[in-house]
Every structure is written in C-alpha cells, then in structure tokens.
Amino acid sequence: MQARAVLASVLAMALVLSGCAQPERTIAPAGAPQPVQSTTPTPSPHPTLTKPPKPPLRPLPAKLPTGLRRNTGVRPVVLTFDDGPSPAWTPKVLDQLRAAKVTATFCVVGREVQRHPELVRRIVREGHQLCNHSWRHDLDLARRPVAEIRADLVRTNKAIQAAVPGAKVSFYRQPGGRWTSEVLGVAKDLGMRPLHWSVDPQDWDKPTAATIGKRVHTAARPGAIVLLHDGGGNRAATLAACPHLIADLKQRFGITRLS
C-alpha cells in the first residue's frame, strides 16, 4: 500500500510539471477591445485629367462666299505664289521674276516667315506684295471658332512685321480656298482683303512643267489671278514652267500688281 501511495504521488507531481510547461494563455476579459491588425493603406488613384472636347468644325458652305477677289479688274493678270517662303525655291522664283521684269504676290505661311525672315525681306525689297496665308496652312482654319481664326491671322501678321517692320499685308488667302463667311469677316476686320484665284494649274499635285504651262495658257483670261506655289514641297516643275508661262502671259495680257 505504501508503494502505491508513493507511485500516486510521483504521477501527480509529473502532471503538475507538464501543465506548467505549457505557454501561458491570456484570456481577455469580456467586453475588452480586440487588438487591431496593422495594414498598409491602399493609395487612392490619381484623378484623370481630361481635356475639354474641341468644338465641332463648322460645315463648309455649298458655294464660295461673296466678296472674294478673283479678278484684277483690268486686262493684265496677276501671278501669286503660295506656301513659302522656301529657301529651296523662293530665291529661284524671285530670280525669274526679276529677269522677266514683273512682280508677283507672295502668300506666305507664318511659321515659314519665322524660319526664313531674310526671304521675306528680299520679296519686299524687290517690289513684290505680301499676302497672309495663315500660320501653318491649316486647311480647316476657316471652320474653327472665330477666336482661333483671329489668333492665327494675327500671329502670322506679327511674324511678317517682325521680319519686315512696317510691311504692308493687304491680302489674306485661305489655305485650299476653303472659305467661310467667318474667316472672310476676320480678314476684313484685320484690314486684309480676301484673295482667291481664277486660274489653278494644280502645280501642288506635281504635274510636269509642260502640263502646268498648258493649263495656265488654256485657262487664263484678261484680269486672271494665277495660283502657283513656291513652297510646301518640291517645286521643280513649277520653276521649270515659269519662264515660258510668264512670257506667254506677259505677251497676251500683261502682268500687273494687285491694287
């Protein structure tokens, strides 16, 4: 009996010791706040900046508005050159005009004027006229809001005046001849008359020199305003056509300045 008592005492002691070896467990009292787990906050997305939609372009009128200059009003014709000044072609055109002793009207693009002011100075120095042909030859300019049209034409005139202070810019020509009453009105408000044409050999499409000359010869009438190009691309064919073309018009009608 004594041995059994000793064995029972040993087992009891072993159970106590094994319970003490368990990790302590802390039981929170009822109603106590639970610990909050730390989490990394998710950054909020940046707001997307959206540009306001551009106003829709006005439709082009079914026919050209009235008030465009399409004739000289006298027998002699006028030569006009668009899209320059170009360092590759404008000096050569000027050389030919000087050799033929005739003058022309140069419809200049504002950003080209800014790049090549010395050519604008030569145009004026040699007795030719200047015409505003928009800042960057925007074919849709006449369909844009009036404020944009005005800003474009004013910017171009300022570039011309910066190149040749005091230069007279009496005319405006809409790129592509895509006129609206709005662009016509802005040009007039700025003291420029809208200049169109009556003869277009489409030299911008790069026909041969012979084709350009033939088209001008066939279409020209007394008082014609002839559209040609000294900028905006390779104008080798136009340059090649000019000597014969100028001589033909000079002999048949005479060549004059716009008034």
Q: Tokens 């009822």 map to which residue?
A: 30
State mean pLDDT over 92-118. 98
| % the chain with pLDDT above 90 | 78
pLDDT of residue 93: 98
218 has a pLDDT exceeding 80: yes
pLDDT digits (tens, 9 = 90+) for 160-169: 999 999 999 9
Catalytic residue among 116, 133, 196, 229: 229
pLDDT recorded at residue 215: 98
Could you say which of 82, 83, 138, 230 is catalytic? Answer: 82
pTM: 0.80
**Three-class DSSP category at 64:** coil
**What band does 45 get if pLDDT is binned at 50, 70 and 90?**
low
Residue 12 has pLDDT above 70, yes or no: no
- Give the whole-number percent of the chain exceeding pLDDT 70: 81
Beta strand segments in 33-104, E? 78-84
Going through the chain in order, the beta strands assigned E by DSSP cover: 78-84, 105-108, 129-132, 169-172, 193-194, 225-229
Helices and strands (H and E) in the chain: how many: 8, 6
Q: Beta-carbon neighbour count of residue 127 at 10 Å?
A: 12
Q: Tokens 């034409």 correspond to what residue?
A: 153
- Residue 60, Cβ neighbours under 10 Å: how many? 14
Check if 133 is active-site: no
The reply to whether 82 belongs to the active site is: yes
The span from the CA of 234 to the CA of 219, in Å, is: 24
